[in-house]
């Protein structure tokens, strides 16, 4: 229900912007081979390009189709996260973790921006699937599960370069689960080594071709430590469903709450210290990748408050938290038997948490935190309405005065802001000419007017 609410909020407050439109335009103008391997920034992500090509071909400029596509990837990740937790230990508690993850406020952030969400939601789903098949291999020794791991690893690279961290996730899970019931077999070890080498080779290749980007990277230890601190603070704060925009809102109380959770789970089962260390290493490595990126080089610590980077960390936090809690429950219930109404109380808390997340979704989408999406929504809604009115009139090839889309929608240049590009995206055939009586003009609000 909450996801339907999020989708409705996104559809009523967002639309394609910036990179989204540029990707669609390249799909129209370039050959398929050139388009698929046309880098986004410095990263080649052919499956990301292919998905944009398909969505644009099936439903040009129809934002609801894009949101549906992203929701399907998100649903895939949610299903496999639940399957993974159930494979580790069957428990109703797993539903609590999965529900909190599935309805988190940062899902809406990714749905608002097609190009950004298309990087991350498929990568997250494929990473979780790789972990699921890896756990199956560790637990059951199935050789075919390794094929699933390899396929997910390769496919994730097609959407997002952070797929290079999947071998690290698998190694962290292996260390966390080390016990007679979970055994790393030779074939699995070889796959882990090969995956690690592929990731290292990819990292080296990106560094070699990064050119001027590589010279601007912040290598200062002080910068990186502060970037880690800020990023962890935003992540921890987001576990309460908050979208944090400044360092001023960071709560010491929430840090202490998480410290208490870690301390309790370790006290009840000392080996949980390894689980939490694995969580620390995997999430901190994710943050370090961003801290060493060209984005951090260009915008500094401000990047730590960019909303789009955090949902890709949450599945790791939920996974390792669930692993620690699952291992703790038997020992906790041995010394304290919860009352019969405890599940109902926990369910009520979950409902309240989802309600709070829903409110934060609404607040973040209707205020000034996403100005480009708000401008794009109004602009394209007006433009589509007026185009339908023109199409209802007697057929004629109308002449438009060329102009520019608002800079909030397309801030990346001048040529790609022109109305000629816009009409190509909408697949509307019009002529262009100087201002004259009877010609048409598109205003900054997307309204079409006839010059008198």
Which residues, in sequence order, are CB contacts of 280 under 8 Å at separation 6+? Answer: none
User: For residue 194, which of 161, 170, 221, 219 has the smallest C-alpha distance?
Assistant: 170
Residue 279, pLDDT score: 96
- Answer yes or no: are the C-beta atoms of 112 and 14 closer than 8 Å: yes
Token reading at 102:
């599935």
Residue 82, pLDDT score: 95
CA–centroid distance for 45 within its chain: 15
- Answer yes or no: are the C-beta atoms of 405 and 422 closer than 8 Å: yes
Token reading at 424:
């190509």
Calpha distance 56→68 (Å, rounded): 13
Calpha distance 386→381 (Å, rounded): 9
Q: Which residues pair with 242 in a beta bridge?
A: none
Ramachandran assignment for 379, one of left (phi > 0), alpha (psi -120 to 50 degrees), beta (any other): alpha
Strands 448-450 and 399-400: what pairing? unpaired
Residue 163, pLDDT score: 95
How do residues 245-299 score in pLDDT, each as one tens digit? 555 555 677 788 888 889 988 988 899 999 999 999 999 999 999 988 878 877 8
User: For residue 95, which of 108, 82, 76 has the smallest C-alpha distance?
Assistant: 82
Q: Which residues of the chain are modeled with pLDDT < 70? A: 1-3, 5, 208-215, 241-251, 331-370, 395-396, 412-416
Calpha distance 56→52 (Å, rounded): 6
Token reading at 37:
């391997």
3-class SS letters over the chain: CHHHHHHHHHHHHCCCCCHHHHHHHHHHHCCHHHHHCCCECCECCHHHHHHHHHHHHHCCCCHHHHHHHHHHHHHHHHHHHHHHHHHHCCCCHHHHHHHHHHCCHHHHHHHHCHHHHHHHHHHHHHHHHHHHHHHHHHHHCCHHHHHHHHHHHHHHHCCCHHHHHHHHHHHHHHHHHCECCECCCHHHHHHHHHHHHHHHHHHHHHHHHCCHHHHCCCCCHHHHHHHHHHHHHHHHHHCCCCCCCCHHHCCHHHHHHHHHHHHHHHHHCCCHHHHHHHHHHHHHHHHHHHHCCHHHHHHHHHHHHCHHHCHHHHHHHHHHHHHHHHHHHHHHHHHCCCCCCHHHHHHHHHHHHHHHHHHHHHHHHHCCCCHHHHHHHHHHHHHHHHHHHHHCCCCCCCEECCCECCCCCCCCCCHHHEHHHHHHHHCCCCEECCCCCCCEEECCCCCEEECC
Q: What size, in residues, is the chain? A: 452
Residue 348, pLDDT score: 66
* Phi and psi, residue 7, nearest 5°: -60, -40
Calpha distance 440→93 (Å, rounded): 60
Residue 205, pLDDT score: 80
Strands 448-450 and 440-442: what pairing? antiparallel
- Answer yes or no: are the C-beta atoms of 18 and 412 closer than 8 Å: yes
């Amino acid at each position: 229900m909450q996801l339907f609410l999020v989708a409705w909020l996104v559809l009523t407050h967002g639309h394609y912007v910036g990179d989204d439109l540029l990707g669609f335009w390249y799909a129209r103008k370039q050959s398929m081979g050139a388009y698929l391997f046309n880098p986004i920034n410095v990263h080649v992500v052919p499956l990301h390009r292919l998905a944009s090509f398909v969505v644009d071909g099936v439903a040009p400029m129809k934002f609801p189709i894009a949101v549906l596509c992203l929701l399907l990837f998100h649903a895939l990740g949610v299903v496999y996260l639940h399957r993974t937790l159930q494979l580790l230990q069957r428990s109703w508690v797993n539903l609590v973790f999965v529900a909190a993850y599935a309805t988190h406020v940062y899902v809406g952030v990714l749905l608002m921006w097609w190009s950004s969400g298309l990087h991350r939601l498929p990568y997250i789903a494929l990473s979780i699937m790789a972990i699921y098949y890896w756990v199956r291999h560790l637990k059951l020794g199935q050789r075919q599960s390794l094929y699933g791991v390899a396929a997910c690893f390769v496919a994730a690279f097609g959407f997002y370069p952070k797929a290079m961290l999947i071998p690290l996730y698998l190694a962290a899970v292996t260390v966390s689960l080390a016990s007679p019931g979970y055994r790393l077999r030779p074939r699995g070890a070889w796959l882990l080594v090969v995956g690690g080498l592929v990731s290292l080779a990819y990292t080296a290749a990106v560094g070699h071709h990064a050119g001027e980007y590589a010279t601007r990277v912040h290598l200062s230890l002080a910068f990186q430590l502060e970037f880690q601190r800020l990023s962890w603070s935003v992540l921890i704060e987001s576990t309460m469903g908050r979208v944090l925009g400044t360092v001023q809102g960071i709560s010491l109380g929430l840090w202490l709450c998480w410290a208490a959770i870690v301390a309790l789970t370790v006290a009840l089962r000392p080996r949980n210290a390894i689980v939490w260390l694995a969580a620390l290493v995997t999430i901190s490595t994710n943050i370090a990748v961003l801290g060493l990126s060209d984005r951090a080089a260009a915008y500094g610590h401000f990047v730590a408050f960019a909303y789009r980077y955090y949902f890709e960390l949450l599945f790791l936090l939920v996974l390792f938290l669930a692993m620690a809690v699952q291992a703790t429950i038997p020992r906790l219930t041995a010394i304290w038997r919860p009352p019969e109404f405890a599940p109902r109380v926990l369910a009520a808390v979950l409902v309240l948490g989802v309600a709070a997340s829903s409110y934060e979704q609404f607040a973040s989408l209707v205020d000034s935190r996403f100005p480009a999406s708000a401008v794009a929504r109004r602009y394209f809604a007006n433009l589509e309405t007026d185009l339908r009115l023109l199409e209802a009139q007697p057929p004629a090839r109308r002449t438009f005065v060329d102009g520019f889309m608002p800079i909030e929608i397309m801030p990346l240049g001048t040529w790609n802001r022109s109305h000629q590009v816009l009409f190509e995206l909408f697949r509307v055939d019009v002529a262009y000419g100087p201002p004259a009586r009877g010609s048409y003009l598109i205003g900054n609000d997307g309204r079409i007017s006839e010059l008198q």
